[in-house]
Amino acid sequence: MFPMPRVLFAMARDGLLFQPLTKVTSKGSPAIATISSGIVSAIMALLFDLEALVEMMSIGTLFAYTLVAICILILRYQEGPSEDTDLKIEVNKSSFLRPPSTPSPSTSRRVTTLTIIAVGCLVALCVTLTQALDALYNLEAWSLVLVCVLAFIVLLNTFFIWRHPQNTAKATFMVPFLPALPLVSTFINVYLMVQLGAETWIRYAIWMLVGLIIYFGYGVRNSVQRQRRIDPQRIPSAGDLADGDVVKEEKF
């Protein structure tokens, strides 16, 4: 509950949610976002028991962490904003045994494809480890072969991703041990998610459906990023504004 008002406020500032959620008080508090999130939380607390609420919170958090890990893995291997022509020629002449020194559109696409395959195999592996636990305990051949094949594909894709060049841009903190660490994080998160009950997945699917309807019905057409592409002089997103500027512009 505590971070939700700021999350709603930031998303509304970026045009992904309805504009009234951007209104703040003279003290800088997102009042409408706070009231809205409080009403939704109160309704959910009224309708569901504590166990259901805990599982809903868990699956949402785990899913968000999974997306973060996947995005980190994909973005680290994306092409930078500018590349030298000589480097592009070098990339075109490269091979698997002699990988290029910098990412290119082709290497970025390959890494994205390999990541999708690896994540799909991780999901299948987690489901197998959960649903076929008795078969694995009894050492049934089909379950052992399936687990070994899925694990081998994941390891092979991890090796192929590792052979591709990473983006050379530097940041204050960068996730180490790529591509292994994001894939391990994805495996742990997905494994914990598949332990949750079917009712939790149904509730979360409904919640996601509502979010997708809002996004495609409102957010896509009104997002700041879309407006920037149409008119580069548009207002900045929430992350580009200081708190004082936000209060001055949106207070009521």
The strand pairing partners of 251, in sequence order, are 24
Residue 244 or residue 106, greater confidence: 106
Position 95 pLDDT exceeds 90: no
For 226-245, what is the mean pLDDT?
A: 62
Contact of 106 with 172, CB cutoff 8 Å: no
Contact of 100 with 111, CB cutoff 8 Å: no
Position 84 pLDDT exceeds 80: no
Q: Residue 170: its pLDDT value, please?
A: 83
Q: Residue 235: its pLDDT value, please?
A: 55
Q: What percent of the chain has pLDDT over 70?
A: 84
Which tokens hold the place of 173?
């903190």
How wide is the angle at C-alpha 157 spanned by C-alphas 156 and 161, nearest 5°? 120
Please report which confidence band the pLDDT of residue 231 belongs to, taking 50, 70 and 90 as the band edges. confident
Cβ burial 226-241 (10 Å sphere, 16+ → b, else e): eeeeeeeeeeebbeeb
Of the listed ranges 5-14, 137-146, 221-230, the least confidently predicted one is 221-230
Task: Give every CB contact of residue 25 below 8 A, 6+ residues apart in sequence.
Answer: 31, 251, 252
C-alpha to C-alpha distance for 38 and 8, rounded to whole angstroms:
12
Residue 94 or residue 197, greater confidence: 197
Which tokens hold the place of 169?
């841009």
Position 98 pLDDT exceeds 90: no
Task: Calculate the average pLDDT of the chain.
Answer: 85
Q: Residue 89: its pLDDT value, please?
A: 45
Please report which confidence band the pLDDT of residue 91 belongs to, taking 50, 70 and 90 as the band edges. very low
Give me the helices (H) in the chain, please: 4-13, 31-47, 50-76, 85-92, 105-131, 133-137, 141-162, 180-194, 198-214, 220-222, 224-230, 243-250
The strand pairing partners of 24, in sequence order, are 251
Residue whose token pair is 């973060």? 68
Of the listed ranges 64-78, 177-191, 230-244, the least confidently predicted one is 230-244
Residue 180 burial by CB count (10 A; 0-12/13-18/19+): exposed, middle or buried?
middle
DSSP classification of residue 227: H
Cβ burial 77-89 (10 Å sphere, 16+ → b, else e): bbbeeeeeeeeee
C-alpha to C-alpha distance for 102 and 44, rounded to whole angstroms:
49
3-state secondary structure of 249: helix
C-alpha to C-alpha distance for 185 and 188, rounded to whole angstroms:
5
Report pTM.
0.79
Which tokens hold the place of 170?
């530097």
